[in-house]
Amino acid sequence: MALARFSALLVLSVGFIMSTDSARAAATDWVGDGRAAVRLITATDNVPVGSTLEAGLEFRFAKGWHGYWRTPGDAGIPPAVEWSASENISGEEISWPAPLRLVIDGLQNSVYENGVVLPVKLFLKQSHTSVRIKASISYGTCSDVCVPLEAELTLALPTGAGGTSAQSGLISSAQRRVPGSPDAAGVDVIGTRFAGAPSEPTLVVDLKGRYEAFVEPDLFVEGAGSGIPPAPKVELQDGGKIAHLTVRLAALPPAGRPLTLTLIDGNRAAEFKVPAEQAIP
């Protein structure tokens, strides 16, 4: 069954709802089923000295199933998390590792396969004070059908002189997969511009690889209508050091709202903005 019938499938699908309050420090139990599951992990076994706590939401997907990025594309449910029931947590910041592009029946999707850790920075109300993290999560996983899932995760961390946890490596590895600046990725953004008629706009992005040639660059564009546009047309020059990417857009960005571009090429990824003022009048 194609993802185009996603809405109908959501009505028929049943989510898996469960709660866990693991006694082990730094990780909850897995909550889910044979298709997908999630757990909450932290980088330390105790509340660290300072104002922040490094954590992560680790998802795993069975073979043939996938989850979704922050902008899922033409179909899918991105992870949404409610932290308000937590104790000694004033706020949070979720980071998103680079996704994969998956096209099914012409529908564009930005997905995670096998598994992914979403790094989360939790801000503490009081340092040197124990915390109780409660995360209410809703997300979707898809194969031939799409299923909405939910999970309730609870993890308590005491104060103390604890070091890094057994899960800290998972979080740091996921943080390295989060797109940084083009400069950090060794990429120079030569220019960005909108072209074509307002009814059929395109976005043209010119890039230069400072140290490495481009191989198969992809560009995820957020903010130009719903979903994500198809993969760009790629033209490589100078032995692959210069890349011209042309993306067909569904619409121009609204005034005052820039596009967010995520460049992915092999193991390197970068995120940058395109001002809406560059759009065609």
Please write the tens of the pLDDT for every residue from 47-96: 988 899 999 999 999 999 999 999 999 989 999 999 999 999 999 999 99
Domain that holds residue 230: 187-278
| Averaged pLDDT for residues 100-104 | 95
Q: Give whole-number Cα distances, 195 to 200, 204, 231, 236, in Å.
A: 9, 7, 17, 19
- The strand pair at 19-21 and 146-157 is best described as parallel
Shared domain check, 222 and 143: no
* CATH value at residue 39: 2.60.40.1250
pLDDT tens digits for 184-216?
A: 999 999 999 999 887 889 999 999 999 999 999
Residue 261, domain member (yes or no): yes
> In this model, does residue 16 exceed pLDDT 70?
no
Q: Do 117 and 172 sit in the same domain of this protein? A: yes
Per the structure, the count of domains in the chain is 2
Q: What secondary structure does DSSP assign to 16-84, as a single string?
A: ---EEE-SSTTB---EE-SSEEEEEEESBSSPPSSSEEEEEEEEEE-TT-EEEEEEEESS----EEE-T
pLDDT, tens only, 164-173 = 999 999 999 9
Residues 59 and 109 in one domain: yes
Give the pLDDT confidence of 215-269 residue by residue, as tens digits. Answer: 999 999 999 888 899 999 999 999 999 999 999 998 888 878 899 999 999 999 9
By percentage, how much of the chain surpasses pLDDT 70? 89
> What whole-number distance in Å separates Cα of residue 133 and Cα of residue 156?
6
Residues 87, 165, single domain; the answer is yes
Is 166 part of a structural domain of the chain?
yes
